[in-house]
Amino acid sequence: MAWSAAQYAKFEDERTRPARDLLAQVPDLPAGPAFDLGCGPGNSTELILARFPGSLLTGIDSDEDMLSAARTRLPDLRFERGDLAAWTPPAGSALFFANAVFQWLPEHVTLFERLILALAPGGTLAVQMPDNLDEPTHLLMEETAEEPAFAPAFAGRTIRRRSLPSPATYVERLTSKEVRVDVWHTVYYHQLVNANAIVEWVKGTGLRPYLDALPTTQRAGYLAAYAEKIRKAYPAMKNGRVLLRFPRLFIVATRDR
């Protein structure tokens, strides 16, 4: 699946706010390397660098377009291509920071357990994931995919990602005598210019796998059908803008010193 750094950056302020909120809950770090996992175009990496300017910070992402944008943004930092499902975390790490990436990996709780084992004493795993599969933005992606004009392209494919486990699952799996875990939800209400802006937003993330599954000749038709549904689901407010409700799940796990 290919990503577009330019498309992602259209709503950079809104996408970066959860990273700021997550970083605010990260305690001071011990000595050791820090990693921005799924760093994207480097917006979250830039925040980490400002908060921990002395850290040995590396960005990891699987998409070359995102990495190219990150390297342009932060030319003095190291960015590496890596598949987080198979990536081996270095022992003695101070920070694993992941803003909106692990929701794509079904077995991410097991990956979190592996990351925690690689933390230095006092180190932190900090994760934010969208928890929005039950929002109209995502339900309507599936509904549009089931229309007769598009259904053949999706036959036999599982496009919709899995729902996140319950908060209790994260607490029970990650907490130990050496690890303190904090889990919470935040619901953001983004005021966007119009319903078309919502479509542009999800084109950079959740809608991407649906578009990739379609023949090029059908993508415009799918987008038009989806956009019509979005306009009905997100009516304009009195000021003409629309309100995008966006729930997100946060996890901060810190090893005791």
Helix 195-203, helix 136-145: angle, nearest 10: 70
pLDDT along the chain (257 residues), means of 10: 54 86 98 97 96 96 95 97 96 98 96 98 98 97 97 92 96 97 98 95 92 96 98 97 98 95
Segments making up each domain of the chain, as ranges: 5-255
Residue type at 208?
R
Residue given tokens 């729930």 in the structure block: 247
User: What single DSSP character describes residue 229?
Assistant: H
Q: Does domain 5-255 have CATH number 3.30.360.10?
A: no
Given a contact cutoff of 8 angstroms between Cβ atoms, the answer to whether 146 and 222 are in contact is no
Tokens encoding 128: 């934010």
